[in-house]
Structure 1
Amino acid sequence: MGATTQQVQTDDGTTVSCTVIEGDEPAVVLLHGLAGSSRELLPTARALGGRRVVLVDQRGHGLSTTRPADTSREAFVADVVQVLTTLTSQPVVLVGQSMGAHTAMLVAAARPDLVSRLVMLEGNQGGGSEADHQALGDFFRSWDVPFVSRAAAVEALGDGPLQRAWVEDLERRADGWYPRFDADVVQAVITAVGEERWAEWESVEVPVVAVFADGGMFTEQQKAELVARGRDVRRVDLAGASHDAHLDCFDAWVAALRDALPDAARQLEGKRGSRA
């Protein structure tokens, strides 16, 4: 199952890097969370064996432009729309985690013609306090970079699933190892995500699977309200999982994602059966 890296240039000069795994259409497009990259979703992509998967490094993250001029939600949506119109040929299953789920939701609201189904892992329509956003930016600014080695980064950050994802994604430069995101950009992005978008959420017409973790960041009230105010939403709950369930509850997450694609899965099995 070969993977290639492709780049999409946006109208504002931002480079958006994508990893494309070839396979059967319709494609699944994966959007990572804040301060992450598509790398952490590669195991998810490979678990969908036989499907065409496009993994997007959203602006300010991964191999995409690190310090884009525009960090608005509208810019993130425009990037994904351009990726979909450039790298896919029919409506896709759009999957996002956390900030990526928020981006995916806004894309589905703005361009339902490009999306056949939406899967949101630990995502909602926005929210959070200015103090929380400032604290997050301060946390990333507190990293003593560059790290002299990956081992030093593990010692400084910890060895949990999320911390390992950060360490594995570090970029090696001449003087050490650096994160593939900028703390100030991260804070600006999460501040934009914090604006509530109930109107957009309530306008989403495509079927939605909302996947929540029992140890995630949302209260039961928040989860219930999101589902109740959506048009066509099925809720799935993962036990023993955190906000980053794709990292620490992988098997249950993949099972939920596969179950969210029943029609595509049946089509794929039919094709395999016809080749036997």
Structure 2
Amino acid sequence: MTGTTAGTAGASGASGTTGAASAGAASAGATWTERTLVRDSGPGGEGVRLSLRDWGGGGTGRSLLLLHGLAGHAGEWDGVARRLRADGHRVVALDQRGHGASERHPKDVSRAAYVADILAVLDHLGLTDTVLVGQSYGGHAALLTAAATAHRGHPPPTAHRGRPAATGHHRRLAGAVLVEAGPGGADPAVLAGVGDWLRAWPVPFPSRDAAVAHLGGGPVGEGWADGLEERDGGLWPRFDPEIMIASLAENAGRARWEEWAAIDVPVLAVLGQNGIIPAEEYDEMSRLLPGLRGACVPGTGHDLHLERPGVLYDLIDGFLSETPCAGVDFNT
């Protein structure tokens, strides 16, 4: 089952349908279409509704699926998506289950259900050789999806500069960009602190300005505020804090190094200078995945996709130019 609703990026608003974390004037009139997919099978199916912000594109470009972090929304990616779409890429941003316009109270919030959602979106839209771009919890979902689709037991073809070469057939994934995300296990105390923070939001916010100020101010506060909806005389989050907390539970103290080592597509890790991924975790990521590309964005934190969307776009653009498409073998 599908549905569509038109939207325009660059408009400021609290509903999230036309709200965007603006990244500048370039292509400010670019439009996207809201698509709805209802899953009825597989892990976490059971009629779960997924909302997609489809920017269109394609042709000679790449396919990219953008995944927001915990308590986020698809509109966080507008600043990056607009630029990627202008380059001719097929760009889609997903409101993950429990977030935004997607199913607000899914019964299954396991990591397997999030991965199944991503694969269902790729299949529904007919996207192949897709590059996943995820921030924080969305990056973690991208990591697990890359591991789930790896060709276990079948070594990748000879690598070019440490990256698997394309094999001439269509794959689900062609690469992954992880923004402030990694396979290291999360400290249960830190996760508990995230839950306390979400529960402590003074909702409803009486105004957008009040919401922006509480949520960090500047582009980060603006990006978070764009995910709010107006109802009952105020601005409310488009998620249930208890669903967010339940979604985090599986990660408490659990590392994903085995899954990380299984990945057989090119990966770019983008970290904020003041982010949450420690140097020792990145070092281990690089050791286990020798072809890993990495970048640290000075002066940014965990929400660097909101702080410096232009810089992140440049990094993604460079990664795409070096990541082989299907049917292209750099070894010949």
TM-score (norm 1): 0.90
Aligned-pair CA distance for 1:254: 1.2
**SS of the residue aligned with 1:96?**
strand
In structure 1, the residue matched to 2:248 is 190
Instruction: Give the alignment partner of residue 75 of structure 2, picking from 18, 36, 39.
Output: 39
**2:97 aligned partner, one-letter code:** R
What TM-score results when the alignment is normalised by the length of structure 2?
0.76
**Residue-by-residue CA offset, 1:48-72 (whole Å, 9 max, x unaligned):** 1121101001111111111211110
Match of 1:241, SS state, is coil
Q: Which residue of 1 aligns with 2:6?
A: none
Letter in 2 for 1:55: A
Q: What is the aligned partner in structure 2 of residue 272 from structure 1?
A: none
The yes-or-no answer on 1:220 pairing with 2:279 is: yes
Residue equivalent to 1:20: 54
Whole-angstrom CA distance in 2 between matches of 1:66 and 1:55: 17
Q: 1:265 to 1:244 in 2, by over 3 A?
A: farther
The alignment status of 1:170 with 2:228, answered yes or no, reads: yes
Given that 2:191 and 2:248 are in contact with CA atoms closer than 8 Å, whether structure 1 keeps it comes out as: yes
Identity %: 37
Q: Is the 8 A contact 1:26 1:264 kept in 2?
A: no
Supply the distance in 1 between the matched residues of 2:261 and 2:234 (Cα, whole angstroms).
46
Superposed, 1:204-243 pairs within 5 Å as 204-230=263-289, 232-243=291-302
Q: From 18, 24, 35, give the equivalent of 1:6.
A: 35
Give me the whole-angstrom Cα distance separating, in 1, the residues matched to 2:299 and 2:101.
Answer: 31
Is there any run of 5+ residues in structure 1 with no aligned partner, and where? 267-276
Moved more, 89-98 or 230-239: 230-239
* Total equivalences in the alignment: 266
* 1:264 Cα deviation from its structure 2 partner: 7.5
For the 8 Å contact 2:205–2:234, the answer to whether it is kept is yes
Task: Let me know the Cα RMSD of the aligned residues.
Answer: 1.9
Whole-Å separation in 2 of the counterparts to 1:126 and 1:240: 23
- In the aligned structure 2, how far is the partner of 1:26 from the partner of 1:242? 28
- Alignment partner of 1:62: what SS? coil
Letter of the aligned partner of 1:233 in structure 2?
L
- Aligned equivalent of 1:153, options 188, 193, 211: 211
Alignment-mate amino acid for residue 274 of structure 2: G
Instruction: Tell me, in whole angstroms, the C-alpha distance in 2 between the residues paired with 1:132 and 1:158.
Output: 19
Return the alpha-carbon distance in structure 2 between the equivalents of residues 108 and 100 of structure 1.
Answer: 12
1:46, 1:127 → 2: CA distance? 33
Conserved 8 A contact 2:80-2:310: no
Shift of 1:148: 2.2
Matches of 2:300 and 2:211 in 1, distance apart?
A: 24
Q: Distance in 1 between matches of 2:184 and 2:280?
A: 14
Q: For 2:93 and 2:272, how far apart are their aligned partners in 1?
A: 22
**Mapped partners of 1:70, 1:37: distance in 2:** 19
